[in-house]
Copies of this chain bind each other. A is one copy, B any other.
Amino acid sequence: MATEIQKNLAEKNAEYAQKFDQGHLALPPAKKYLVLTCMDARIDPAAAFGISLGDAHVIRNAGASARDAQRSIVISEQLLGTRESELHRDFARVSSRHTGCGMLTFTNDDAHAIVKKNLGPAALAELGALDFLPFPELDKAVKDDVEFLKVSTTIPDDVPITGWVYEVETGKVRQVV
């Protein structure tokens, strides 16, 4: 039986599909850029960052970690952009973390202890030495991410990369790098 959440998805999607007229959009992002942000429920990247449908790849994970997103970032640029290598370099990247992020509230040791307590030793073993990638300082995490992407050999040197903080309290972005 469908849960309330599944019913909501089906009903809201039916309304969306009825008005949908963007079926012509091509696979490569029209504006050739990529936004990396957090999975946090309080962020709507399309609305808050002005991304029109079809314009940009949007990657979201816990904490907006660039390390965690590396597979997707390389695929975005090298495989799903334009397939013409002279255009790959037009990709720009925006990396944004945000205030009030839950990733500021725990350490790896905390996370492993909670998994063990709530889910048991089998779950802990399944995750192994997984780095949950928490971070204690917001601006420093943004700077570290941009640095990680800039020194990475997987991203051409002339790709613009900027780092931002999104304020969940005000809806404002603030450029850090």
Contacts and interface: CB of A to CB of B under 8 A. Distances in A.
B111 A75 contact: yes
Nearest to A57: B39
What class of interface size applies to chain A in its complex with B? 35 or more
Contact of A170 (B23, B70, B110, B153): B23
A118 B84 CA distance: 10
A171 interface: yes
Nearest to A24: B169
Contacts of A117: 85
Given A9-B49, A79-B105, A123-B154, 9 more contacts: A13-B49, A14-B172, A16-B48, A23-B168, A27-B40, A30-B41, A41-B54, A41-B58, A44-B46
Interface of A: 3, 5-6, 8-17, 20, 22-23, 25, 27-31, 33-34, 39-42, 44, 46-50, 53-62, 68-72, 74-76, 78-80, 85, 88, 92, 94, 100, 102-103, 105-106, 110-111, 114-115, 117-120, 122-123, 125-127, 130-133, 152-154, 156, 160, 162, 164, 168-173, 175
